[in-house]
């Protein structure tokens, strides 16, 4: 007798797949009755939201049930075959743990979000009413609600606002209390203003819209159930409102301290909250010095939201521990697999030897956590049955999202090339706090300390870079403004397209895409395909996607033409050389071809003595059925931005990476600039 879960979510499947699998709410009772007719399925609950489609079931053999379920979905949604979709299949305790994590908000796109709790409750209620769920799923879901409440009340997982709109609402409520009766004026009718105004409106505020185009103002006002005023009247109206959201396309500030003081004189001791979303800013920063006026620009709101997101992610480890303890104390494993309690709980008295656990260290960003879970899954699939505890470590790069990558190398003690994203993880390795660390390999310095080794790499994701743009392109555009934080991408771009203007960008992947959407002067950004696909933002061959209401086009830059970074797309596990336990476990998940390729790439970088800020692109590939490993490299001189790069090609035995790296190096040295 088993409990199981079959599903896809925003991490494992892009929206094009998830929308095909979405269940319409009015059809759920019928579908639930159909599912429990399938072999080995006695009970089921369907959870179908915009970010996940999961079916929880209870019945006989989990293997048979999952297979039947996959076939059922394939037929129902007219999918080519069950293998066309990468369903995850969870059984017994894993299925229970997953449900608890989902209900607690730990598996959500915005960690700690509360909507999912209501969605799970609703899905369960529909299943119960239509006879889909029975005794076992009733028990399991009741436990999940208890766990969800416990995790949310005993941790800070849902504290802090994680989006610009919700930060604005939080701040407004901190100034005014309840927003009923508050009046909000929106100057300019951009998307971000609309979203922020909607957030405030949802709390009872009334909206006034002013825009250069009165028709557009009326349109937005209608949508927000507010009123429109002519653009020439916005200054007068400022004296009658509590909150101003400004997002015009003015080239310079349109709101100055004198104007605000004039408006203040009219309304006395009322506070004024100004949200300046525009870039360049609409409001003179000196306005914040005025008593009773609180001015926040888009960077302030983003920073507050980012801090809250990081804080929530830091809570994940504690919440996972709470869930684990709950599962042990309540004998959830026994309930899930319907085994007698005496054998199922607690694990400490289980019969037979269990592998000692491992502690996995990772950064807390969305991508880092996704990659950490990939390694965890790989370890499970390789047969590792010990506990794997995830521990988040904040690195230098995480602590200063405001600095450009190049700024880390300034000063007497530059931290760049000492690993701004890896140093603290290595320190945790040395202190024994973690057994191994999971990195994006391109973040790892070429020269590791003597104590450390990269012992495994997962199968490499596609290495190409993607150009994300507001307008579609069939090839690299000749002109425009492109943002990237990578000197390699910047230099290649300028070499291939001298007419392009390159600007710097920092932040995690979603933040960068958001910045592209919000900055009217930018035409595109460059990002690694691997990261975008792992986060579920872009599908494998997608030509575009929707991001928070904005349409983004995708152009894939072939690796042969736009060389990737060394180690790009590779997830690596690093540990100390003395940790035999970790080395043995990790060698079981090592993907040898990837390991050979990145060994060549990193050996070349080491010979160049190149760091993360050296503009080097390198692409490796196998030929002759894996017997020959080829490499092509481009090295751009750091000191002369206008100079042509030096190019090199080599080939050799993949078991001898140093030889291939040596060939490349000799060619580079033979071609002085």
Partner 1 sequence: MEILALIASTLCFAGGFVYSVLAVRSGRHRPKFLNMVVLAVGFVLQSLFLHFRGQMHGRCPVTNSAEILVFLSWSTVLLYFLLGRTFRLSLLGVFTSPLVFFFQGTALVSLLLSADADPLPAGAIDPWREFHIGVSLLAYGAFALAFIAGVMHLLQNRQLKRHQMGVLFHNLPPIRYLLSALVRLVSIGLVLLLAGIASAFRVEGDVPLAHVGTAVVSWAIYALLLSFHLTKKIGPTKFAVGAVVAFFFPLIHLAVY
Buried b (16+ CB within 10 A) or exposed e, 95-105: bbbbbbbbbbb
174 vs 198, which CB is nearer to partner 1? 174
Q: Quick one: which segment of 205-213, 247-255, 289-297, 366-374 binds partner 1 (CB under 8 A)?
A: 289-297
Q: How many residues bind partner 1 (CB under 8 A)?
A: 26
Binds partner 1 (CB under 8 A): choice among 26, 80, 118, 177: 177
Minimum separation from the CB atom of position 627 to partner 1 (A):
58
Cis peptide before 473 (omega within 30 of 0): no
Q: Is 199 in the site for partner 1 (CB under 8 A)?
A: no
Q: Identify how many contiguous H helices and E strands the chain contains and give both numbers.
A: 23, 24
Token pair listed for 13: 């499947």
C-alpha–C-alpha distance, residues 468 and 484, integer Å: 11
Query: CB–CB of 135/104 below 8 Å?
Result: no
Is 44 in the active site?
no
177 vs 251, which CB is nearer to partner 1? 177
C-alpha–C-alpha distance, residues 502 and 484, integer Å: 7
164 vs 468, which CB is nearer to partner 1? 164
Site for partner 1 in 351-380 (CB under 8 A): none
Minimum separation from the CB atom of position 178 to partner 1 (A):
8
Q: Is 411 in the site for partner 1 (CB under 8 A)?
A: no
Phi and psi for 179 in degrees, rounded to 5? -90, 0
Minimum separation from the CB atom of position 145 to partner 1 (A):
19
Minimum separation from the CB atom of position 245 to partner 1 (A):
17
Give, in degrees to the nearest 5, the angle at Cα 640 between 639 and 645.
110
Q: Which residue has the tokens 């094009």?
A: 16
Helix axis angle, 366-381 relative to 509-518, nearest 10°? 150
Binds partner 1 (CB under 8 A): choice among 80, 215, 269, 639: 269
Q: Quick one: which segment of 304-312, 406-414, 453-461, 479-487 binds partner 1 (CB under 8 A)?
A: 304-312
171 bridge partner residues: none
Give the 3-state secondary structure of residue 306.
Answer: helix
C-alpha–C-alpha distance, residues 583 and 605, integer Å: 25
Q: Quick one: which segment of 45-53, 264-272, 487-495, 529-537 binds partner 1 (CB under 8 A)?
A: 264-272
Minimum separation from the CB atom of position 324 to partner 1 (A):
19
146 vs 270, which CB is nearer to partner 1? 270
Residues with Cβ < 8 Å from 37, sequence gap 6 or more?
Answer: none
Minimum separation from the CB atom of position 249 to partner 1 (A):
25
Binds partner 1 (CB under 8 A): choice among 235, 300, 328, 658: 300
C-alpha–C-alpha distance, residues 34 and 11, integer Å: 28
Binds partner 1 (CB under 8 A): choice among 12, 67, 114, 271: 271
Token pair listed for 55: 């079916």
Q: Quick one: which segment of 12-20, 268-276, 336-344, 557-565 binds partner 1 (CB under 8 A)?
A: 268-276
Q: Which residue has the tokens 């800070």?
A: 156
Other C-beta atoms closer than 10 Å to the C-beta of 326 total 18
278 vs 372, which CB is nearer to partner 1? 278
215 vs 269, which CB is nearer to partner 1? 269
C-alpha–C-alpha distance, residues 285 and 669, integer Å: 52
Output the CA torsion sign for 592, 596, 598, 599: positive
C-alpha–C-alpha distance, residues 197 and 459, integer Å: 45
269 vs 624, which CB is nearer to partner 1? 269
Q: Is 307 in the site for partner 1 (CB under 8 A)?
A: yes
Q: Which of 5, 44, 50, 319 is catalytic?
A: 50
**Which helix (H) or strand (E) covers residue 184, if one does?**
strand 183-187
C-alpha–C-alpha distance, residues 1 and 60, integer Å: 5
Binds partner 1 (CB under 8 A): choice among 84, 225, 251, 291: 291
Q: Quick one: which segment of 61-69, 301-309, 484-492, 579-587 binds partner 1 (CB under 8 A)?
A: 301-309
Minimum separation from the CB atom of position 319 to partner 1 (A):
12
Site for partner 1 in 137-176 (CB under 8 A): 153-156, 159-160, 170-171, 173-176
Positions in the binding site for partner 1 (CB under 8 A): 153-156, 159-160, 170-171, 173-177, 268-269, 271, 288, 291-292, 294, 296, 300, 303-304, 307-308
> Which residue numbers are catalytic?
50
């Amino acid at each position: 007798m088993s409990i199981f879960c079959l599903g896809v979510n925003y991490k494992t499947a892009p929206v094009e797949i998830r929308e095909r699998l979405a269940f319409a709410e009015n059809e759920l009772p019928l579908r639930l009755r159909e599912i429990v007719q399938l072999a080995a399925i006695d009970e089921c609950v369907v959870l179908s939201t915009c970010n996940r489609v999961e079916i929880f079931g209870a019945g006989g053999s989990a293997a048979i049930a999952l297979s039947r379920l996959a076939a059922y979905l394939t037929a129902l949604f007219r999918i080519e075959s069950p293998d066309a979709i990468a369903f995850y299949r969870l059984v017994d305790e894993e299925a229970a743990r997953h449900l608890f994590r989902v209900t607690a908000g730990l598996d959500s796109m915005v960690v700690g979000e509360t909507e999912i709790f209501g969605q799970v409750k609703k899905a369960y209620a529909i299943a119960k009413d239509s006879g889909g769920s029975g005794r076992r799923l009733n028990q399991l879901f009741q436990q999940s609600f208890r766990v969800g409440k416990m995790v949310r009340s005993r941790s800070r997982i849902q504290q802090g606002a994680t989006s610009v709109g919700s930060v604005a609402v939080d701040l407004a409520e901190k100034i005014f209390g309840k927003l009923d009766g508050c009046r909000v004026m929106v100057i300019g009718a951009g998307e971000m203003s609309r979203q922020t105004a909607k957030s405030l409106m949802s709390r009872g505020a009334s909206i006034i819209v002013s825009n250069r185009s009165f028709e557009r103002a009326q349109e937005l006002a209608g949508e927000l159930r507010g009123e429109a005023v002519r653009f020439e009247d916005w200054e007068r109206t400022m004296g009658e409102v509590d909150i101003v959201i400004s997002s015009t396309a003015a080239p310079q500030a349109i709101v100055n301290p004198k104007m605000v003081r004039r408006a203040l004189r009219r309304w006395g001791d009322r506070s004024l909250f100004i949200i300046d979303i525009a870039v360049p800013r609409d409001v003179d920063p000196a306005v914040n010095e005025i008593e009773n006026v609180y001015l926040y620009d888009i960077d302030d709101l983003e920073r507050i939201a980012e801090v809250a997101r990081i804080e929530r992610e830091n809570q994940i480890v504690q919440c996972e521990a709470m869930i684990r303890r709950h599962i042990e104390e309540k004998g959830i494993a026994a309930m899930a697999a319907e085994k007698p309690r005496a054998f199922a709980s607690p694990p400490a008295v289980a019969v037979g030897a269990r592998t000692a656990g491992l502690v996995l260290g990772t950064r807390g960003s969305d991508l880092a956590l996704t990659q950490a879970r990939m390694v965890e899954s790989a370890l499970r699939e390789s047969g590792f049955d010990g506990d794997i505890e995830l521990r988040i470590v904040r690195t230098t790069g995480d602590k200063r999202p405001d600095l450009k990558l190049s700024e880390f190398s300034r000063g007497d003690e530059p931290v760049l090339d000492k690993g701004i994203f890896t140093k603290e993880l290595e320190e945790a390795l040395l202190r024994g706090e973690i057994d191994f660390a999971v990195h994006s390999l391109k973040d790892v310095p070429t020269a590791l300390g003597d104590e450390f080794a990269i012992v495994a790499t997962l199968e490499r994701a596609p290495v190409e870079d993607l150009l994300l743009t507001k307008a579609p392109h069939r090839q690299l555009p000749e002109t425009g403004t492109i943002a990237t934080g990578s000197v390699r991408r910047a230099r290649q771009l300028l070499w291939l397209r001298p007419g392009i203007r390159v600007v710097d960008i920092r932040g995690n992947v979603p933040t960068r895409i958001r910045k592209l959407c919000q900055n009217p002067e930018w035409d595109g950004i460059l990002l690694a395909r691997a990261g975008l696909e792992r986060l579920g933002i872009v599908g494998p061959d997608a030509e575009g996607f929707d991001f928070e209401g904005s349409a983004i086009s995708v152009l894939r830059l072939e690796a042969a033409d736009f060389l990737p970074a060394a180690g790009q797309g590779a997830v690596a596990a690093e540990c100390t050389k003395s940790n035999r336990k970790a080395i043995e476990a990790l060698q079981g998940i090592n993907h040898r071809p990837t390991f050979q390729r990145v060994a060549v790439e990193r050996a070349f970088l080491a010979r160049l003595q190149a760091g993360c800020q050296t503009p080097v692109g390198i692409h490796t590939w196998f030929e002759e059925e894996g017997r020959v490993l080829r490499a092509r490299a481009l090295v751009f001189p750091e000191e002369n931005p206008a100079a042509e790069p030096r190019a090199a090609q080599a080939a050799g035995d993949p078991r001898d990476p140093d030889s291939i790296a040596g060939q490349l190096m000799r060619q580079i040295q033979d071609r002085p600039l």
